[in-house]
Structure 1
Amino acid sequence: MVSPQNVLRRGYTLTLKDGRIVTSMQDLGVDDTIETRFRDGISVSRITGLHMSDNSQEEK
């Protein structure tokens, strides 16, 4: 199993909403507050807009 701390050390971040990891844009809404965890701290942000990708347009 991959440790979240090891993921952060490699330069990735974890995004949480209400203490739960966000895994999809569908988990978010305008005006939601999210927390982004970095290896050296946390930022708190408010969602001002969402732009969903259209996966049906991608080449296969």
Structure 2
Amino acid sequence: MSKVTRLRHTLPMSSDINAAVSDLDKAIADAVDAAKAAGLPQGLIVGLLHGHAHAQTHIMVT
């Protein structure tokens, strides 16, 4: 992990962006907690998150 750079150290981000990132992080964490409470297998949760991340990456690079 020594090659990982935090965005806040690389470029300044507005408080609006920081708030949006925090809100997104909380929404994802809450959704994962709800899925676990509903009994979804952890592998399915991870697979769904990975699939969405892959789809969004594809959108960004095309």
TM over 0.5: no
- For Structure 1 versus Structure 2, the TM-score category normalised by the shorter chain is under 0.3
Q: Flag the structure with more relative contact order, 1 or 2, with Cα contacts below 8 A and sequence separation at least 6.
A: 1
TM-score, normalised on structure 2?
0.21
Instruction: Say which one has the larger Rg.
Output: 2
